[in-house]
Structure 1
Amino acid sequence: MRRRRWSAGLSVKRTVTWLAVMVAATATSMAVTAGPSFAYPTTAEATSSAGYGYFNGETQILAIHDSHKDGYGVGIIYYRYDLAHTGPYYAWNREGNGTTTYLYLNMPSGTEIKIYACPEQGGLIIENKCGARVFASVPI
């Protein structure tokens, strides 16, 4: 039986194809493992003079607590980065001092959220008295 000789062109094609497959595999693995340069915590608490909002990424629940007997409710302004319309969205607790309202957000893994807590009165959030913004994310 006669041995088949490989041409130089076939050898180059095989090498180029092998290199292309390796580059594609490396790029894919980097894209899958690459994440943001920083990770937000899975819990966050936004405070205001009327109360606070607490987001737990494990349960995906936003708790809104009125912690002051001041005649104000607690309004939460939040932005969800898993939806086409990121926000603002609004939630509130108008039940009075010492009460907590819960909102289940049903967010996918890795989703980020930004939250502000503000005093609320008569259905209107008093935005110029909001506390600092906080960020959290749903764990992957």
Structure 2
Amino acid sequence: MRRRRQPAMSIVKRTTTWLAVTVAAATTATVVGASPSSAATVPTSVTATSPVGYAYFNADTQVLSIHDSRADGYGIAVINYRYDLANVGPYYGWNREGNGTTTYYYLHMPYLGEIKFRVCAEQDGVVLNFDCSVNVFGYAGGEI
């Protein structure tokens, strides 16, 4: 029994469909493979919030503000990592001034320098990990 020969149009449709599926798969793999660090192309200000206080990184001024918002006897610690430095960290910022106060750290970072940080309660220099925020990422604006 001989196989029937398929018309040329059927081969073109099959080849075009196969090519479209291959291109779609390659595009999806490229998009999925992008990391969060490569996705940031602009300066980004960010806030980390916990039950005891918050920290705010201002991308334009490159200032890390640490605010204590609870009269509980604990201070606020910010654990941060600076990816623009040879030693990325951890580095610590403190606010031990009490409820309603804010402490400022001037960071002098290059353009798009990355910082990752979280906020925790602290007592006598010991970070209390039970009251921490999630890690957040910020990217510095123009160099100051």
Task: Please report the TM-score for the alignment, with normalisation by the length of structure 1.
Answer: 0.71
| Alignment map for 1:118-137 (pairs within 5 Å) | 118-137=120-139
RMSD between aligned residues: 1.7
C-alpha distance 40-86 of structure 1, shift in aligned 2 (>3 A): farther
1:46 pairs, out of 36, 45, 48, with 48
User: Residues 40 and 135 of structure 1 are in contact (CA less than 8 Å); yes or no, is this contact kept in structure 2?
Assistant: no
User: Residues 84 and 113 of structure 2 are in contact (CA less than 8 Å); yes or no, is this contact kept in structure 1?
Assistant: yes
User: Residues 42 and 136 of structure 1 are in contact (CA less than 8 Å); yes or no, is this contact kept in structure 2?
Assistant: yes
Q: How many residues get paired?
A: 106
* Cα offset, 1:123, TM superposition: 1.3
1:76 pairs, out of 58, 75, 78, with 78
2:105 pairs, out of 103, 106, 110, with 103
**Matching residue of 1:115:** 117
* Cα offset, 1:130, TM superposition: 1.1
* Cα offset, 1:65, TM superposition: 0.2
Amino acid in the other structure paired with 1:126: L
Q: 4+ residue stretches of structure 1 with deviation over 4 A?
A: none
Please list every run of 5 or more consecutive structure 2 residues that lacks an aligned counterpart in the other structure. 1-36
Amino acid in the other structure paired with 1:94: R
What is the rounded CA distance, in whole Å, between the counterparts of 1:135 and 1:78 in structure 2? Answer: 10
1:9-40 CA-partner distances (Å, limit 9, x unpaired)? xxxxxxxxxxxxxxxxxxxxxxxxxx923447
1:56 pairs, out of 47, 55, 58, with 58
**Matching residue of 2:29:** none
Amino acid in the other structure paired with 2:58: N
SS in 2 for 1:58: coil
1:43-101 CA-partner distances (Å, limit 9, x unpaired)? 11111121011000100000000000111111000000000110110011000000000
* Cα offset, 1:127, TM superposition: 2.4
